[in-house]
């Protein structure tokens, strides 16, 4: 599919740096966009709507002063338990944020508000039923979050997910899960994605808000160091094993959550940043802040880089892979 006109010709490489709770802030967005990939951040990484307004003002100014920058995006948790949804959406409309990424709910109101100024809405899904619901409310793009992704990953193989969505969805498709290199980005395109959605790879950048320990743990980790469990966030998510151990928990014997409680994600600033670990009351550690999420793509991440260098590297790897595979060779 061609990219929507708002994005066509605006990206140096078909990459979106995915929004990550407590990790993506304005520095990462600005440097990513200046280098030519689409940078994003979750609205809830700011404690207040006024703070979000300040961040967006800064991003608009910096990117406005740098011709050729890629557009940016903001992630909205479009769930009824997010008390800031309406206020944050108003600020997004005021700033005419080019891309809004919705998660945990696709709402007609959000789509209408963003379309009113010509913006785009992409929605992330881990399965086909939610993809159909989001398509029905008119989102412009679907983000297919497959098994092994950082954060609240899905459990479906990316080929299987793509095969069940690409044939009927006419909008933009992004693939997420374990994409770390430019060659991976090309593979996602070959599978039918228009854009690649990279989270974990962007944690290991100098501009991410992750601590040094978090970044280094990702550089050192392989896929076997990632634990997929509902115990930390009450719905299944991927976490670095070593950070679970450091929090005093046994990754092999994590308690099953009694019920799904996403308030630490949808209303994170209510009880302290990051929310408490729901399933382990004896631990002082907090999900996301102390128990660190990352995807199985960690194994391909070998260094912490400035975001600019990462985007340049992704673009070079992408072109080299394309040349090698499509450059007229015999195989």
Ligand X SMILES: Cc1cc2nc3c(=O)[nH]c(=O)nc-3n(C[C@H](O)[C@H](O)[C@H](O)COP(=O)(O)O)c2cc1C
Which residue, 155 or 324, is less far from ligand X as judged by CB? 155
| Sites for ligand X among residues 214-243 (CB under 6 A) | none
Q: Which of residues 14-73 bind ligand X (CB under 6 A)?
A: 18-21, 23, 42
DSSP 8-state class, residue 328 = S
Minimum distance from CB of 242 to ligand X (Å)? 15
Q: Which among 198, 76, 216 is positioned nearest to 148, based on CA atoms?
A: 198
What distances in angstroms separate CA 42 from CA 52, 102, 154, 284, one per listed residue?
A: 9, 10, 19, 25
* CB-nearer residue toward ligand X: 2 or 235: 235
The answer to whether 161 and 188 are in contact (CB under 8 A) is no
Q: By CB under 6 A, what part of segment 247-306 binds ligand X?
A: 293-295, 297
What are the two backbone dihedrals, phi and then psi, of residue 73, each rounded to the nearest 5 degrees?
-140, 160
Taking CB under 6 A as the criterion, which residues in 67-126 touch ligand X?
A: 75, 103, 124
Nearer to ligand X by Cβ, of 77 and 249: the residue is 77
Stretch that binds ligand X, among 7-15, 53-61, 65-73, 191-199 (CB under 6 A): 191-199
Strand partners, 175: 144, 196
Q: β-pairing, 226-229 with 237-240?
A: antiparallel
Return the number of the residue (182 or 295) whose C-beta is nearest ligand X. 295
Q: 66: closest CA among 25, 40, 119, 29?
A: 29
* # residues near ligand X by CB under 6 A: 25
> Residue 127 CB, nearest distance to ligand X (Å)?
14
Beta-bridge partners for 301? none
* Nearest partner of 248 among 275, 218, 286, judged by Cα: 286
176 near ligand X, rule: CB under 6 A: yes
Q: Are strands 237-240 and 141-145 parallel, antiparallel or unpaired?
A: unpaired
Among 149, 173, 188, 227, binds ligand X (CB under 6 A): 149
Among the listed residues 39, 98, 199, 274, the single contact to ligand X using CB under 6 A? 199
Q: Which is nearer to ligand X, 20 or 59 (CB)?
A: 20
Of the candidates 99, 134, 145, 285, which one interacts with ligand X according to CB under 6 A? 145
Q: Mutual orientation of helices 49-64 and 85-95 as an angle, nearest 10°?
A: 20
Residues of this chain that interact with ligand X (CB under 6 A) are 18-21, 23, 42, 75, 103, 124, 145, 149-151, 176-179, 197-200, 293-295, 297
């Amino acid at each position: 599919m061609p990219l929507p006109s708002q994005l066509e010709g605006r990206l140096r490489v078909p990459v979106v740096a995915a929004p990550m709770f407590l990790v993506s802030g304005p520095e990462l967005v600005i440097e990513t966009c200046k280098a030519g990939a689409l940078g994003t951040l979750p609205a809830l990484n700011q404690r207040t709507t006024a703070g979000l307004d300040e961040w967006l003002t800064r991003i608009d100014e910096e990117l406005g002063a740098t011709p050729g920058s890629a557009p940016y995006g903001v992630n909205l948790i479009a769930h009824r338990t997010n008390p800031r949804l309406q206020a944050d959406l108003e600020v997004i409309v005021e700033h005419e944020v080019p891309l809004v990424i919705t998660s945990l709910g696709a709402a007609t109101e959000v789509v209408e508000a963003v379309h009113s100024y010509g913006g785009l809405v992409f929605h992330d899904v881990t399965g086909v039923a939610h993809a159909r619901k989001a398509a029905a409310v008119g989102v412009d793009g679907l983000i297919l979050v497959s098994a092994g992704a950082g954060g609240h990953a899905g459990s479906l193989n990316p080929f299987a997910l793509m095969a069940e969505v690409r044939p009927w969805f006419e909008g933009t498709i992004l693939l997420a899960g374990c994409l770390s290199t430019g060659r991976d980005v090309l593979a996602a395109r070959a599978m039918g994605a228009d854009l690649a959605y990279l989270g974990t790879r962007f944690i290991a950048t100098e501009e991410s808000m992750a601590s040094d320990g978090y970044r280094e743990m990702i550089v050192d980790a392989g896929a076997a160091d990632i634990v997929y469990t509902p115990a930390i966030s009450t719905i299944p998510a991927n976490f670095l094993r070593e950070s679970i151990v450091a929090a005093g928990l046994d990754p092999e014997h994590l308690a099953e959550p009694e019920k799904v409680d996403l308030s630490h994600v949808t209303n994170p600033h209510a009880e302290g940043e990051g929310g408490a670990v729901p399933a382990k009351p004896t631990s002082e550690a907090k999900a996301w802040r102390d128990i660190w999420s990352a995807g199985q793509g960690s194994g391909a991440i070998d260094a912490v880089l400035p975001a600019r260098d990462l985007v340049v590297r992704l673009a070079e790897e992408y072109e080299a892979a394309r040349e090698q595979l499509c450059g007229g060779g015999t195989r």
